[in-house]
Structure 1
Amino acid sequence: MGRLIGLLAVFVLIEFYCFQAVRQVTKNKLLRWGYVIVSALGIAYIIYGFSQFDRNHGTNHQSLVAGALVVLFYLPKAIITLLLILEDVVRIIRGIVNYAKGTKVQRNEKESFVPSRRKFVSHIAFGIASIPFISVLHGITIGRYKFEVRKHIIEFEDLPEAFDGFKFTQISDIHSGSFDNEEKIRYAVDLINAQESEALLFTGDIVNSISDEMIPWYDVFSRIRKYKYGKFSILGNHDYGDYAHWDTQEARDKNFEEICDISPKIGFKLLRNEHVWFEKDGQRIAVVGVENWGVRGHFQKLGDLDKSTEGITAKDFKILMSHDPSHWEAKVLEHPKNFQLTLSGHTHGSQFGIEIPGFIKWSPIQYVYKQWAGLYEKVGKYIYVNRGFGYHAYQGRTGIWPEITVIELKRKK
């Protein structure tokens, strides 16, 4: 209850400051009332959308839209509020200074203790706030389906010669329960099929929570072509049904079994703490798939590196599929079986950030995960964190686009 009151107080503060800014920027009553009406409608839908969320049925369209509206409206409004609060602090300081001067020299009695708010500050606040507003609006309308193919070449000294130049495609975090545009998803599947790869590896989170979320999308994902070495998948944290309410353990178990059955229905082999061999010209590499393992307390720790590598030696070349990148530093790097390359997802790059190659790469998720998007190396071992195919919670992607990854393995000369 205390948190709810605190959150309500923050929203009231934001609305108060933003309306003050609107009053300063325009004297037009029609525009002022327009702002009030739009804000009221936005708040009404946010309340309605979140009220429609039912943990028995997982994330729905209304709750996703409500979450998107919170980001769209209240991120810019929070910026306006912060700037005006900072101005208020300056105004109070100026008032104190003026008062102090007034005790020493003749004081202008017409001047109030706190100087009036400066109109240009409100103009600046709206100008700055328009940047995230436009960016988030783009992320909601276009960015969430702005699929991007990223290609990387990674070199290894111990890569078998037969696999020099071996290419595979990685996708991650489909979150089928969030989709609402079949044409865009079909386009993305066509992009996957267009890549000249010999295998396809999916690193978890096929749904948001409920197996039925995949029903409308079976036909679309069944269109993914066959690969020479096959298509393989693992489970992500959302694939265990932990984010839904279950009346009985039997219902929860049934949902989990149905989620595990999704992979073979669309032509993937699900790896659950096990491995497969890719063989070529008498040489081979292992693809190891573990269940979800995350450092943070509420995430499952079911990934078993020892079990999944039975029959594999430290000298064998391995590609490890592990959904949560925190597994890498916590367990994988120092494991005696020597995992040369790890593939993860999970973070989505927060679906919000700035990426300009060679200049900046930032997202709030980097304060939670050290490895959050792209390629990382330590002691000659690599992890690639896919930015995710779908989206969840926030119905958009701002600056961090949905990703299809193509990795080429090369032997160091």
Structure 2
Amino acid sequence: MRVEAGEHGERVERPATTTARIVGVDVARALAVLGMFASHVGPDPYDGGVDTLVQGVSGRASALFAFLAGVSLVLMSGRTPLRGRNRHSAAAVTRVLIRAVLLIPLGMWLADLDTGVLVILAFYGLYFLLAWPALWLDTRALVLLAAGWALLGPIASYLLRTSRDTGDIRYAAPGFDDWHGPGDLFETLFLTGSYPAITWLPFVFAGMAVGRLRLTDLRVQRAFVGIGTGLAVLGYGGSWLVVELFTGDRLAREAAPYGVFELIHSRVGSVPVSDPAWLTVAEGHTGTPFEIVGAIGVALGVLGLTLLACRAWIGRIVLDPPICVGAMALTVYTAHLIAIDRWFPLAAGQTWERLLAFVVVTLLLCWAWRHTLRKGPMEAALHVLSALPARWVRGAARPAGPSRPQGGGQEGGQEGGPAATGSMAQGSDR
């Protein structure tokens, strides 16, 4: 911790900052990036055969990004809950809000490219705009908030879409080309779009709760794996049981003449509003309580495994290329969409060869960049644009005594994290 003078001269303790990164978080983010690659340029998972392996990332990679965004949101603000209304808190919120505001137009610009990808960045901007008040909450409150939102958010989405007659919107990622005003933009980002905040905020809140913990503690890392596995079984297994025993016949009738599976995968972001029984499914991108719990479990388990893998020096050496990818996630996401738009149109085919080429080139370029120029260009730009105003807001606070580092210091700011990068989404996942 360090001691600073508050706005009225009082002594205020602040978390000690450091440049050290928790590289296990970067590896988890890299896995989500590669999962996004599989969805965007890999083979169609619905063709059957070995291509079905790609289906495993559908919905899970983008949920992992949102989860990690919550982790980095907390790490960036100092890991401990903000206290009161002072310059330190105002500076932390300033950084978050500026990054959030910048992500929305960036996401809209990328959505206008001819890629066929449902870009998630604009949605992430709204997530951060809505989540910043939770920076004052402790771990227990964040867990309760995530759990309550996971249960009530999908129900509220269903009821709102029913009352507004918007339940049949299947694909929506806003761009400037289809601009219809701020009200329509908010409705798309919050309710009717492909990654609506009303059902995606639980991932952010769950990540924030995890970010409050000591991520370098072995017991915590093992607990992540165990608890994550349990949540995944509860979400996906619970949905399977409920559908098999209670709602399967109703869903089959509602889906006719198509199958339930085909109807679910013809939409991204929400379930039909023809019957509440749709809230019992757990397929990716359905935004149901079962899917949210299961995807949080997968994200937590993946984070636990990557943190464990990076404990030993040999693990950090072997995983250095994906660490570099995860630290440059926004740059990677932006670059891959531009590459698809200009040189690799999806209409030319999605194959294992193209997926392998994207993965290998990305690993090599990010490794070379990080070991020469450090920050990715997009990450550096966001840092400058947000850190300078935050420094000005905090300017009146001056150190009142020597810094005295205490435990957990290495869990300080994660500049390349999802809070800085937004997230690099799943796009169409088709």
Q: Quick one: higher RCO (CA 8 Å, sep 6+), 1 or 2?
A: 2
TM over 0.5: no
How high is the TM-score relative to the length of structure 2? 0.28
Larger radius of gyration: 1
Richer in helix (by share): 2
Richer in strand (by share): 1
